[in-house]
């Protein structure tokens, strides 16, 4: 099925819809309805953490396994690379530790191996966080909405992207209204 591109009357491309909810409870209930409708590219926005929002959105632990895999691979590459580097250096230039040659000894290689494992784990964590959060994105289309600026103060929102396969402008707007939204706004691509 081909993705439909939505445009406003002025010809601007539609990023999605932004719906305002009155309180955390209606936001949570609205999130359950959006989840049950099968949307994948949507998010909730609130001025403080809303309990059980992850369960309402159906995202409990979904990003943890791939992120841990990336971090684990980075740690293994760092530690393995550190050990291999020292071993290969020791072949041509034997390292003397406390007056004894290190041929066949693995113990002197542990500090560098450990530190490179930690360093690569930190970089793997940072890069996987950037990837899973869609960063760097210097300006999000939601920031063009004056109404959305209240999200850090006293407002609760659900945003649904037009890039979602289930997105249909009229049906999605009706779904948000039925879910308890007080106001539904069209967000243009910036």
Residue 10 has a pLDDT of: 78
Which residues, in sequence order, are bridge partners of residue 97?
A: 100
**Band of the pLDDT at 2, cuts 50, 70, 90?**
very low
Q: Which of 9-13, 20-24, 40-44, 70-74 has the lowest mean pLDDT?
A: 9-13
CB of 109 within 8 A of CB of 83?
yes
Instruction: List the Cα angle 70/133/52 in 5-degree steps.
Output: 100
CA atoms within 13 A on the CB side of 72: 6
- pLDDT, mean over the chain: 89
Give the per-residue pLDDT at 119.
Answer: 97
Sheet holding 14-21, edge to edge: 42-45, 156-161, 14-21, 183-188
Q: Is residue 26 predicted with pLDDT exceeding 50?
A: yes
Which run of H or of E encompasses 177? helix 169-178
- pLDDT tens per residue across span 140-161: 899 989 999 899 899 999 999 9
Compare 166 and 12 and report the one with higher pLDDT: 166
Could you identify the residue written with the tokens 């209606």?
26
Phi, psi (deg, nearest 5) at residue 19:
-115, 135
Listed in sequence order, the residues at least 6 apart from 166 whose beta carbon sits closer than 8 Å to its beta carbon are 37, 38, 39, 40, 172
pLDDT of residue 180: 94
pLDDT at 102 over 80: no
Q: pLDDT tens digits for 34-59?
A: 999 999 999 999 999 998 898 899 88
* % of the chain residues with pLDDT over 90: 59
Residue 184's nearest CA partner among 67, 16, 28 is 16
Q: pTM above the 0.75 mark? A: no
92 versus 187: which is more confidently predicted? 187
97 versus 106: the higher-pLDDT residue is 106
**Distance, C-alpha 181 to centroid of its chain:** 25
User: In angstroms, rounded to a whole number, what is the distance separating the alpha carbons of residues 152 and 167?
Assistant: 27
Total residues belonging to the chain: 190
Specify the 3-state DSSP secondary structure of 159.
strand
Residue 158: the pLDDT is 97
Distance (Å, rounded) from C-alpha 108 to C-alpha 91? 14
Structure confidence at residue 3 (pLDDT)? 58
Tokens of 6: 């939505």
């Amino acid at each position: 099925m081909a993705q439909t591109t939505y445009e406003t009357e002025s010809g601007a491309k539609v990023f999605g819809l932004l719906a305002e909810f009155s309180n955390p409870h209606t936001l949570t209930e609205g999130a359950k309805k959006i989840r049950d409708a099968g949307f994948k590219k949507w998010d909730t926005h609130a001025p403080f953490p809303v309990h059980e929002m992850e369960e309402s959105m159906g995202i409990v632990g979904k990003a943890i396994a791939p992120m841990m895999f990336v971090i684990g691979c980075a740690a293994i590459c760092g530690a393995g690379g550190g050990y291999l580097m020292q071993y290969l250096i020791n072949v041509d230039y034997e390292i003397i530790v406390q007056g004894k040659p290190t041929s066949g000894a693995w113990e002197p290689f542990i500090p560098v191996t450990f530190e490179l494992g930690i360093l690569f784990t930190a970089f793997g964590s940072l890069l996987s966080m950037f990837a899973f959060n869609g960063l760097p994105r210097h300006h999000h289309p939601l920031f063009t909405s004056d109404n959305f600026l209240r999200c850090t103060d006293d407002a609760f929102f659900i945003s649904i992207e037009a890039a979602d396969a289930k997105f249909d402008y009229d049906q999605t707007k009706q779904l948000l209204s039925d879910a308890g939204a007080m106001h539904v706004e069209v967000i243009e691509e910036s």
